[in-house]
Structure 1
């Protein structure tokens, strides 16, 4: 199923940080409300928002609250000690009462209806799965959750999940049980099971490898970090139809960077092909897709591309930009 992930320019507003609390080792939960008490934008399980923490610091976080509650948007943020500064800002600088601009919600990880689900979470990857678990349970679907983490104390929402759903939730702290048995859980899943997986790259790689040999399962992934980019970069030209410009993209620069230098307004966030903010329609040419977001079918169709990392297979691309 192809999902339109193109951003809407009007989904940009200022929100108030109403609540901040530590919910696990290195994890804080943030609750944002409208400063005037208005209803916030609707969203569905799997959606994320961009937090514009500073002009030079934009980060994406999955919504983990209740989509039916339009009074609040909730995210949970893991402190990334080797990160680029976003999580440190959230943990150390952002305080209740502060106002933050958000973009979105945007959904690159849509929840599909199915009779059976297997949810596989690693660490902070539990966040987009929380509303999916609630939605699956509300429909009476057959579902299970495998949730792995460094230790029990590091696993956000673990106690709540066990309390609400009992033995449908399998908690797998690595310090006690080793690596989670993802192959075993996937191998035991019945035909037609929708598998939703989010977490660190090694976990996703295992899920992809196992599901490649289990065609009766429907795998859905969300990455917080990009796949390794392969392929030799070469220069090419890009025609930006709406801007009336043709620009040269050298081998060591991205389409996004060249467009920004030319004064073309482009929404962007992660700049590593994982968030979908810079997704742009392709009008001509063949993209060299290097993102971690589009499905194989979407890449083959070549209708859109992530201009922060993807390039051109030929000498010229034509974009609706």
Structure 2
């Protein structure tokens, strides 16, 4: 299967520069934060979000190349994403993420919270210095949405009245908002038409939703080695995702198991079996495919280029993670 990083060849050098810049932007004045930044940005993450920003920058102005403002937007996007992960790991008490020690497990909760706060503050500072009010509004909205998504998820644990529509809305706040709004911000900086800018937003929104649905499927079908956490972790914590929501429509008894929070000795194992034997995962695959296809359609008015092709391939890659 094609790896994510191999899809980024048109911006490979740009991503290497971004990683170096991030370490310097975050930790130059603070030794402990620099150590945290080294850990965060040297961990070999996929860098999907800044890669999308850089690819869109090249795709929207293929004859001009990436500007310094586009590069800074990519850095801001990764700062915001990383800050949210640092805080999420503290809230979830996660010791590892994708097999790598989390910041709080290595440096302690205090440093982790401060590092996350500092990243949000730094991203806001560099965002303001782009000196574009519309871009400031778009990315500021993201920071609000991320908090909204965490709150919504926390309030809906073991809530069997959650609908697919509410699940997708929460998934937008937690995952898709950053990709959607940073994609539209690229369009603003590239001075594309309002119609094209809206298409870029819809591309990011659909791609982000497809990515989240696939992640939620993998929580049931992936191995602990691949996931970096035990399979079914979301369900066990009461976070109901597409496979469970669809399965509950077929198997009402699953609601009973969830509502009593798997208090019986075999409840959780039985719930997993019920989900796997239902059409929940199959229907979730269809949902992910629908959003991924829509993402590709939203790129149709961009000129053909290696960068546009890479963006289309990323949409396909999101689905291929399930194979």
TM over 0.5: no
When the two structures are superposed, what TM-score results if normalisation uses the length of structure 2?
0.26
When the two structures are superposed, what TM-score results if normalisation uses the length of structure 1?
0.26
RCO comparison, higher one (Cα < 8 Å, 6+): 2
Structure number having the greater helix percentage: 2
